[in-house]
Amino acid sequence: MLLEIRNLHVTYGNVKALHGIDLTVEQGEIVTILGANGAGKSTTLMSISGLVKAAQGTISYKDKELTTLRAHNIVKQGISQVPEGRRIFGTLTVQENLNLGAFTLTDKEKIAKNQEWIFSLFPRLHERRQQLAGTLSGGEQQMLAIARALMGSPELLLLDEPSLGLAPILVKSIFATIREINKSGVTILLVEQNARAALKLADRGYVLEVGRIVLEGKAQDLLENREISKAYLGGAG
């Protein structure tokens, strides 16, 4: 098991965001977490990457407990997060953003190899590498956010709403690239409002409602589930 979450509780002040969730991710999988706004999806990802602290429960990655580690040390374990809303550094160039993504690596050859691979995934970023990141289009900024996370050679990539605010044609392109990244050997945990696209991409899925997992299963089974279809896919069945 690559990632195993057991009985995870997260609290913001007096508000309970997660009520004892259990979740697993196997090496090589794409797993998606679905749910309405405020269900606890982003909180789950931020707990894994150490940006919010667990009140209770365990998060183990390759049998190593993460809840005691600080965020930068979790990145060193091989976990990178692409945050919701991209959060690129707008006043830095594309190249400078990518350089920051490689902060945990010391092997220059490895960094160069990663960058070469990233530019093959996102040729547009290669063209724009000396451009200020803040002047990129929304789609290009999303590409940069993913590319920056990949610069650290993660084994597990946490993606938070990669299609948010993008035109349908760009969403298709981003999802095709996510599949390519996965085929290269990177395991992916994906939070996504576009439930249909996420389930078509994923191997398995979890449905979160108000901080609790209410359904889990193979992505295909969830796609065919009438309740899921009604609640998240805009259909009756």
Domain with 237, as residue range(s), is 1-78+156-166+188-237
- Answer whether residue 10 is part of any domain: yes
Q: Is the pLDDT of residue 32 over 50?
A: yes
pLDDT of the residue at 227: 82
- Answer whether residue 140 is part of any domain: no
CATH number at residue 6: 3.40.50.300
User: How many CA atoms are closer than 13 Å to the CA of 226, on its beta-carbon side?
Assistant: 2
For residues 148 and 97, the answer to whether their CB atoms sit within 8 Å is yes
- Answer whether residue 162 is part of any domain: yes
In the chain, pLDDT over 70 holds for what percent of residues?
Answer: 98
Calpha distance 44→50 (Å, rounded): 10
pLDDT category of residue 234 using cuts at 50, 70 and 90:
low
- Answer whether residue 114 is part of any domain: no
Segment 98-115 shows an average pLDDT of 91
- Answer whether residue 68 is part of any domain: yes
The pLDDT tens digits of the residues spanning 126-170 come to 999 999 999 999 889 999 999 999 999 999 999 999 998 888 888
pLDDT of the residue at 236: 41
The pTM for the full model equals: 0.93
Segment 218-230 shows an average pLDDT of 89
pLDDT of the residue at 167: 85
Pairing of strands 79-82, 64-65: unpaired
pLDDT category of residue 208 using cuts at 50, 70 and 90:
very high
In terms of Cβ atoms closer than 10 Å to its own Cβ (0-12, 13-18, 19+), residue 176 is exposed
For residues 179 and 121, the answer to whether their CB atoms sit within 8 Å is no
Calpha distance 29→134 (Å, rounded): 33
- Answer whether residue 202 is part of any domain: yes
218 bridge partner residues: 204
For residues 186 and 157, the answer to whether their CB atoms sit within 8 Å is yes
For residues 211 and 33, the answer to whether their CB atoms sit within 8 Å is no
Task: Identify the residue with better confidence: 37 or 112.
Answer: 112
- Answer whether residue 213 is part of any domain: yes
Domain count, the chain: 1
- Answer whether residue 172 is part of any domain: no
- From 219, 159, 216, select the one nearest 188 (Cα to Cα): 159
